Amino acid sequence: MNEIQLVKSLQDMLSGPIGQGFSIFAGRYLIFVFAFFVAVIGFGKNRKELRKTAYAATWSAMLALIITTSLGMLIDRPRPFVADPSIVRLIPAPLTEHSMPSAHTATAFGAATALAFGHPVLGLIAFVIAGLIGLGRVASGVHFPTDILAGAVLGCLVAIGVQMVRSKRWKRWMEIADESDPEE
C-alpha cells in the first residue's frame, strides 16, 4: 500500500462527523493546546526544575521548526492534497507548500522529548499528544505518514542535542562554581 492509499484509508476510517472533528482538532488546533501546556508547566513557586524543562522544550521546538522549514524547502515534496486531488484537505492549506518533514510533528516531538528528560510522566503525556498531532496532520490530508515519521525523528534528535548542550553547559558551570569556592 503506498502513502496516498494510507492517507485515503485513514480519512475513510475517520469519515464521520466525530472522526473529521478529531482530524481537524488534532491537525490544526492541538499544537496550540500543547504549546500552552508547555508554557505553563514552569509557572508557580517551587517549580525551578520544571521551568528549566519548559525552557528546554521551547528551545527544542523552536530549533526543530527552523530545521524542518529549511529541510522542507530543500526536499520540496508536495502535500498529499496536491499530489492527489482525491485526498480531502480538512484544514486550511498550510503556509508552506512542502510536506516533508512535518514541522508540527517535529516541534511537538522535540518538546515532548525535552519534557521526558526533565519529567518522565509529563514526557509520556506529551508523546501521546505529539502522536495525536501527527495523526491529525495525516488525517486532515496535509501530510504523508513518512512526513510525520521524519518530523518525529528530527524533533527527538533536536531535543537530544539540546539536552547534550544543556548537560555540558551545566557541568561547566558547576566546575567554575567549584573552582571559585572560597572554602577550598
pLDDT in tens, the chain (184 residues): 699 999 999 999 999 999 999 999 999 999 999 999 998 887 867 778 888 899 999 999 999 999 999 999 999 899 999 999 999 999 988 888 889 999 999 999 999 999 999 999 999 999 999 999 999 999 999 999 999 999 999 999 999 999 998 887 666 655 654 565 555 4
Sign for the pseudo-dihedral over CA of 121, 65, 83, 24 = positive
CA dihedral 60, 31, 132, 69 (to 10 degrees): -60
Number of independent structural domains in the chain: 1
In this structure, the number of other CB atoms found within 10 A of the CB of residue 99 comes to 25
The C-alpha cell that represents 70 in the structure block: 529549511
Domain assignment present for 18: yes
Q: Is the pTM of this model over 0.85?
A: yes
27 belongs to a structural domain: yes
Residue 23 covered by a domain: yes
- 102 residue type, one letter: S
Residue 184 counted as domain residue? no
Does any domain span residue 48? yes
- For the domain that residue 34 is a member of, what is the CATH number? 1.20.144.10
Does a structural domain hold residue 60?
Answer: yes
The pLDDT value recorded for residue 171 is: 62
Predicted local distance difference test score (pLDDT) of residue 101: 96
Whole-number average pLDDT of the chain: 89
**For residue 138, what pLDDT is reported?**
96
Is 46 a domain residue? Answer: yes
174 located within any domain: yes
Domain that holds residue 49: 3-179
